[in-house]
Amino acid sequence: MSTQDRVFRPYIFIGIIFIHLGALFGFYYGYGIQNGFSTSAWVVAIFLYVVRLLGVSLGYHRFFTHQSFEASKPVQYVLATSGGLSAQGKVKNWRNDHKRHHAFADREGDPHRPSEYLNRWKSFWWSHVGWLCYETKIPIGYKPPPVALEHKIVVEWQAKWYWVIVVSGFLIPYFISGMDGLFLGGFMCLAFCLNFTWLVNSFCHMIGFHAKARGYVFDTRDARNLPIFDLFGMGEHNHANHHVYQNSAHIGWHWYQSDPAKWVLILLQHISRKFSRKLVWNVKKPEDFLDYDKRLIIQ
**Considering the complex, what minimum distance in angstroms separates the CB of residue 204 from Zn ion?**
7
Length of the chain: 299
- Between 188 and 223, name the residue whose CB sits nearer to Zn ion: 223
Closest by alpha carbon to 90, among 191, 160, 34? 160
Query: Cα–Cα distance between 139 and 161 in angstroms, integer?
Result: 30
Nearer to Zn ion, 26 or 235 (CB): 235
The least distance separating Zn ion from the CB of residue 21, rounded to whole angstroms, comes to 29
Q: Can you tell me the distance from the alpha carbon of 240 to that of 251, in angstroms, rounded to the nearest whole number?
A: 9
To Zn ion, the closest distance from the beta carbon of 243 in angstroms equals: 6
147/151 Cα distance (integer angstroms): 7
Nearest to Zn ion of 173, 233 (CB atom): 233
Residue nearest to Zn ion (CB): 223
In the chain, which residue ranges form alpha helices assigned H by DSSP?
10-28, 39-54, 73-84, 91-104, 120-128, 152-181, 189-201, 239-244, 260-274
Q: How far apart are CA 54 and CA 78, in angstroms?
A: 10
Residue number, 20 or 212, with CB nearest to Zn ion:
212
Nearer to Zn ion, 187 or 224 (CB): 224
**Minimum distance from residue 59 beta carbon to Zn ion (Å):** 13
In the shown chain, the binding pattern of residues 195 to 234 toward Zn ion, with x for contact by CB under 5 A and - for none, equals: ----------------------------x-----------
Cβ proximity to Zn ion: between 132 and 223 the closer is: 223
The least CB distance from residue 65 to Zn ion, in Å, is 6
| Parallel, antiparallel or unpaired: strands 280-281 and 296-298 | unpaired
The CB-of-247 to Zn ion minimum distance in angstroms stands at 9
Tell me which long-range contacts 162-168 makes (C-beta under 8 A, separation of at least 24): 162/84, 162/89, 162/90, 165/81, 165/84, 165/85, 166/84, 166/85, 166/87, 168/85
In the complex, the residues that contact Zn ion under the rule CB under 5 A are 223
